[in-house]
């Protein structure tokens, strides 16, 4: 039997969380060290898994499959493929950074560390589960630590924000659970086997479900994931949750938890309900384009830096959904790439705003000005991140959004055209914010602000470096995403009459074959 590497990824942070609770609450340092060691160990295992990951293979790797409760039909099935791989990696990277960035958390540091680790475990579980109920378990479970992080260590109206976050997602997942059960029981009625295994269900569902039933189920799953993404008009929990969450919470919320929604579309909605997906793609595309434009405009109006970034997340996630429902190889590639890239850049933005808040205890743009003079390193990094986030070529944001737009352009031209203006709007709100915060003549406390410390640089630089690296050389990521995405697209094509445009740009070496074969027809 091979080493259950993926199960380890889920158990390890959980064990770390339990270990921290056993240490006395007064020994803050040892708690932090245990937390950090756990997070780094998880990162190590993840990198080992990444190195071992077979590039060019579409199926699930490192599978492990055990019975959990045979009477209920639930199994512990974990596996990773190109779609989930980089979410797992991102989770492993962001957690130690979130912990490092939270060194200043003095109040109940023990509980804080434990919750962050529980959150890591829950997210790992959600991204790795191939059993629908297991996914649901982790999906719901991730709410609890985030709820406590916001309610316990947040700012201002944290109680309200935490409650709103919890109730919104829980109401959304009401539809998800009923949907999951319905799919499983219809499958059982048809075949006699009660299972929640996505691999089994996705082979059966496209042909096995009646069209009307499939449409209803599509709606149920979509509502749950749309709340999580969040898609306009279900987004109202997000600005509150993001703004009031502690820095580490915001980083993980934006970097990973929102991705649970888009990941849910990719992993469950597209393969299970290809027919309604093709038929109702326009609904999701419309909402995503509205989200892109609306998010950007509202972001530009925000007086609060953190709220600005929160709204920018709505716009970025709009690009992800646009890419997904473009239903092309490029679109899906771009969506997954943007999921990764947004996690890196938005993470940095939230971190720097968090560092600013620690220094000045304000996040209002109006309170800042001319910070560059006193803190050139911080200013430089923030500007770079802003460019990365806007999608300047050379940064990862560009690759992802370009691919998503390209994919959408091939199938839904006008949606792409309107969405492209979102890129310009992004430049407006972020650069305007940079201008108001970092340029000008500093006054008062702004003139004497401390620059980033070594610890803070350690948090920020790796993320930004990765974004830059992937901007120049996206190949390693795209190569690993590609085959799995292709499998999804082929699955949709095979189970519906839909035909995706032939891939071109990312597989440059294959493109000569493309036009020729078309000519032959």
Partner 1 sequence: MSALAAARITTPGIDWLSIAPVAILGFTAVAIVLARALIRKRPAAYPVAMGLTVLGLALAAVALLAQWRRFRLEGPYQSLSGMVAVDGFAAFIGIVVVFATAMAVLLASRYLVRERLDGPEYLTLMLLSSAGMVAMASANDLITVFVALEIVSIPLYVLAAFDRRRNASLEAGLKYFLLGAFASAVFLYGVALTYGATGSTNLTLIGRFLAENTLLHEGALLAGLALMLVGLGFKVAAAPFQMWTPDVYEGAPTPVTAFMASATKAAAFAALLRLLYTGLGSSSADWRPIVWVLAVLSLLVGSIGAVVQTDVKRMLAYSSINHAGFILIGVEAAGDRGLAASLTYLAIYAFLALGSFAIVGLVTGRGDSDSALSRFRGLTQRRPALAYAFVLLLLAQAGVPLTAGFVAKFRVFAAAVAGDSYLLALIGMLTAAIAAFVYLRIVLTMFLPVEEGEAAPPAPLRADPGTSVVIVVACALTVVVGVAPAALVHVAERATLLFRG
For binding to partner 1 (CB under 8 A), which residues are involved? 68-72, 133, 136-138, 140-141, 143-144, 147, 151-152, 159, 162-163, 166-167, 170-171, 173-175, 177-178, 181-182, 185, 188
Provide the minimum distance between the beta carbon of 324 and partner 1 in the complex, in angstroms, as a whole number.
25
Residue 66 pairs in a beta bridge with 76
CB of 218 to partner 1, least distance (A): 14
Q: How far is the CB of 185 from partner 1 (least distance, A)?
A: 5
C-beta closer to partner 1: residue 178 or 424 = 178
Contacts of 300 (CB under 8 A, 6+ apart): 308, 425, 428, 429, 432
Q: Which is nearer to partner 1, 237 or 398 (CB)?
A: 237
Helical packing angle, 198-208 and 475-495, nearest 10°: 40
Distance, in Å, from the CA atom of 180 to the CA atom of 97, rounded to the nearest integer, reads 35
CB nearer to partner 1: pick between 111 and 365: 111
Helix (H/G/I), strand (E/B), else coil: 61: strand
Phi–psi pair at 58, nearest 5 degrees: -90, -30
Q: How many CA atoms lie within 13 A of 40 on its CB side?
A: 7
> Nearer Cβ to partner 1, position 12 or 296?
12
Complex with partner 1: residue 19 or 181, whichever CB lies closer:
181
User: Minimum distance from CB of 176 to partner 1 (Å)?
Assistant: 9
Q: What is the nearest approach in angstroms of partner 1 to the Cβ of residue 174?
A: 3
Shortest CB 393 distance to partner 1, Å: 43
CA dist 378 to 251, 342, 371, 374, 438, Å? 18, 20, 8, 9, 9
Question: Residue 515, class by beta-carbon neighbours within 10 Å (0-12 exposed, 13-18 middle, 19+ buried)?
Answer: exposed
CB closer to partner 1 out of 140 and 493 = 140
Choose between 220 and 460: whose C-beta lies nearer to partner 1: 220
DSSP conformation letters of 123-154: HHHHHHB-BHHHHHHHHHHTHHHHHHHHHHH-
Name the minimum Å distance from CB 266 to partner 1: 22
What tokens were used for 126?
């959600």
Contacts of 220 (CB under 8 A, 6+ apart): 175, 176, 178, 179, 182
Least distance CB 163 / partner 1 (angstroms) = 6
* Residue carrying structure tokens 């938005």: 346
Of 159 and 191, the one with the shorter C-beta distance to partner 1 is 159
Are β-strands 61-69 and 74-80 bridged in parallel, bridged antiparallel, or unpaired?
antiparallel
């Amino acid at each position: 039997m091979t080493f259950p590497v993926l199960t380890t990824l889920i158990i390890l942070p959980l064990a770390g969380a339990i270990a921290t609770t056993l240490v006395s609450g007064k020994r803050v340092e040892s708690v932090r060290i245990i937390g950090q060691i756990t997070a780094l160990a998880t990162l190590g295992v993840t990198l080992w898994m990444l190195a071992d990951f077979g590039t060019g293979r579409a199926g699930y790797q490192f599978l492990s499959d055990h019975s959990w409760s045979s009477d209920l039909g639930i199994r512990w099935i974990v596996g990773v493929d190109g779609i989930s791989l980089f979410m797992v990696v991102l989770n492993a990277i962001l957690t130690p950074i979130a912990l490092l960035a939270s060194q200043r958390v003095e109040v109940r540091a023990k509980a804080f560390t434990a919750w962050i680790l529980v959150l890591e475990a829950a997210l790992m579980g959600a991204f790795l589960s191939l059993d629908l109920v297991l996914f649901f378990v982790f999906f719901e479970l991730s709410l609890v630590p985030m709820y406590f992080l916001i309610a316990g260590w947040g700012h201002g109206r944290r109680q309200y924000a935490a409650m709103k976050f919890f109730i919104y997602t829980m109401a959304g997942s009401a539809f998800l659970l009923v949907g999951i059960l319905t799919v499983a029981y219809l499958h059982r009625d048809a075949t006699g086997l009660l299972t929640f295994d996505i691999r089994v269900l996705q082979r059966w569902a496209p042909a096995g479900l009646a069209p009307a039933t499939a449409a209803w189920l599509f709606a149920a799953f979509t509502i749950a994931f749309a709340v999580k993404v969040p898609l306009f008009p279900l987004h109202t929990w997000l600005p509150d949750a993001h703004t009031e969450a502690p820095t580490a919470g915001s980083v993980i919320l934006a970097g990973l938890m929102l991705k649970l929604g888009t990941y849910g579309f990719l992993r469950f909605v597209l393969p299970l309900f290809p027919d309604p997906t093709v038929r109702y793609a326009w609904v999701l595309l419309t909402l995503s384009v509205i989200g892109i434009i609306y998010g950007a405009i509202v972001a530009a109006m925000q007086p609060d830096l953190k709220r600005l970034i929160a709204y920018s997340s709505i716009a970025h996630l709009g690009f992800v959904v646009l890419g997904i429902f473009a239903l092309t190889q490029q679109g899906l590639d771009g969506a997954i790439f943007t999921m990764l890239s947004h996690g890196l850049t938005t993470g940095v933005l939230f971190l720097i705003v968090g560092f600013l808040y620690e220094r000045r205890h304000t996040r209002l743009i109006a309170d800042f000005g001319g910070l560059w003079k006193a803190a050139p390193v911080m200013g430089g990094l923030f500007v770079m991140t802003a460019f990365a986030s806007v999608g300047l070529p050379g940064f990862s944001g560009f690759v992802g959004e370009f691919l998503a737009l390209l994919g959408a352009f091939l199938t839904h031209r006008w949606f792409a055209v309107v969405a492209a203006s979102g890129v310009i709007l992004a430049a407006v709100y972020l650069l305007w914010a940079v201008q108001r915060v970092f340029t000008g003549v500093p006054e008062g406390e702004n003139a004497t602000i401390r620059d980033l410390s070594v610890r803070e640089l350690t948090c920020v630089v790796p993320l930004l470096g990765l974004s830059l690296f992937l901007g120049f050389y996206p190949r390693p990521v795209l190569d690993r995403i590609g085959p799995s995405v292709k499998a999804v697209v082929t699955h949709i094509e095979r189970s519906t009459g839909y035909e995706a445009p032939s891939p071109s740009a990312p597989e440059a070496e294959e493109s000569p074959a493309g036009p020729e074969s078309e000519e032959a027809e």
